[in-house]
Amino acid sequence: MIVAGIDDISIYSPGFFYPLEDLARRHGVDPAKYIVGIGQERMAVPTPDEDIVSMAANAVAPLLVNEVREEISTVIFATESGIDQSKSAGLFVHGVLGLNPNCRVVEFKQACYSATAGIQLASDLVRQRPKEKVLVIASDIARYERNSEGECTQGAGAVAMIVAANPRLLEIHPQSGVFSFDVMDFWRPNHREAAYVNGKLSIDVYLRSLTEAWLDFQRKDGLPLTSIDKLCFHQPFTKMSKKAFGALREAAGAEADHLDEKSYAESQIYGRQIGNTYSASLYIGLSSLLDNCDEDLTGRSVGLFSYGSGSVGEFFSVSVVEGYRRRLRSHAHRALLARRREIDYETYVAWFYTSVKSTEDRISPMQTTGRYRFAAIAEQRRIYAEVDCARLGSLNAVA
């Protein structure tokens, strides 16, 4: 069988953050609750001229090297925070980046899970047509009500992956375990900017979903846990990985004896600084694991659990390809986070809670530090643009 997997991965998150220590003080709670209890330190805050499309374009741009632009046959855009009820966000990315016209573009939705559906379908596509490459993008702004329990988990970011035959980073194993059922733990009707959420229920159903998906993975001849060296869980907040590991250990029994908190520690590093990114969160976690793990992971297997409220869970595994370190963009990812600037509470509120549904004509002032931005709305049309590089250089130099 043709081996399919992830050939390249790139992440993007806005150039500004708000510290959770300050949010805790504003909410009158002990900062340790957010930093230790929830496991979050900073929340990435998008500027008013950023949205899921501009973040996605910024994540994709570094991947378009050599002949890749022409080889992309399909673009799958996964998101919970879509900007149009009809047109795929992927088409805006296709336009602003000038992708190959002979390619199909589609948007996937299922809360935080949809990128995994994209990865699985992309793998099957390239197993059938090994010359083609599939661009899978996940991009989200995780937004809850102000002063709600979920506010401290908010964040924003995007990840872009090239799925190809004979990948140079990760081989995706064909076995996977899935579990779906209809539950109202988190949902967002069309008129709402922030999700409705029953936080405690969402944790319970996440853990049930993980257990059931794991059992299904075992029934379908997935790897035993004894053959898995690292773990990466969907991470709405980093403490969730600890809860997920506990549930998996309970389901797997003695098979989990060789695993401990170090098995997923590196996958939490970026998420702790960015916050929840819904559909992108698992794959930003995967990027964090690969970028930050000092051990050589060549030939080792990673177990991944994807969860999207509502709900769908999927457990699958990948193995790390020899030479993967040369393909990683670790330096760029770390630099992206290191040069971010802190903002105060008033700016956070003004930016994070800018209405995403407003359709009035406007030209957005230049505030992003990214290369692509959401520049304007004109006659109900969203307009994206590449930023003047000289201007961007001076903005980033100030940071």
Catalytic positions: 80, 112, 234
Residues 132-151 as x/- pattern, contact with ligand COA by CB under 6 A: -----------------xx-
* CA pair distance 209, 212, nearest whole angstrom: 5
Residue 32 touches ligand COA, criterion: CB under 6 A = yes
Q: Which is nearer to ligand COA, 140 or 291 (CB)?
A: 140
The Cα 255–Cα 241 span in angstroms is: 18
Answer for which of 68, 203, 392, 395 binds ligand COA (CB under 6 A) is 203
Tokens, residue 56: 């996605």
Whole-number Å distance between alpha carbons of 36 and 363: 41
| Rounded CA separation 76/88 (Å) | 9
Near ligand COA by CB under 6 A: residue from 44, 60, 240, 269: 240
236 lies in the site for ligand COA, by CB under 6 A: yes
Residue of 43, 64, 197, 304 interacting with ligand COA (CB under 6 A): 197
* 36 forms part of the interface with ligand COA (CB under 6 A): yes
Q: In this structure, what DSSP letter does residue 58 have?
A: H
Does the footprint of ligand COA cover residue 309 (CB under 6 A)? yes
Q: Tokens 């995994």 — which residue?
A: 116
**CB closer to ligand COA, 146 vs 362:** 146
**Residue 199 interacts with ligand COA (CB under 6 A): yes or no:** yes
Selected binder of ligand COA within 58, 139, 153, 267 (CB under 6 A): 153
Contacts of 23 (CB under 8 A, 6+ apart): 34, 43, 151, 152, 345
The count of residues interacting with ligand COA (CB under 6 A) is 21
Q: How far apart are CA 113 and CA 178, in angstroms?
A: 11
CB of 112 to ligand COA, least distance (A): 7
Q: How many whole angstroms from its chain centre is CA 107?
A: 15
Tokens (6 digits) for 384: 């994206």
Cβ–Cβ under 8 Å, residues 142 and 152? no
Range in contact with ligand COA (rule: CB under 6 A) among 2-10, 17-25, 237-245, 253-261: 237-245
d(CA 114, CA 312): 9
Chain contacts with ligand COA (rule: CB under 6 A): 30, 32-33, 36-38, 149-150, 152-153, 197, 199-200, 202-203, 206, 236-237, 239-240, 309
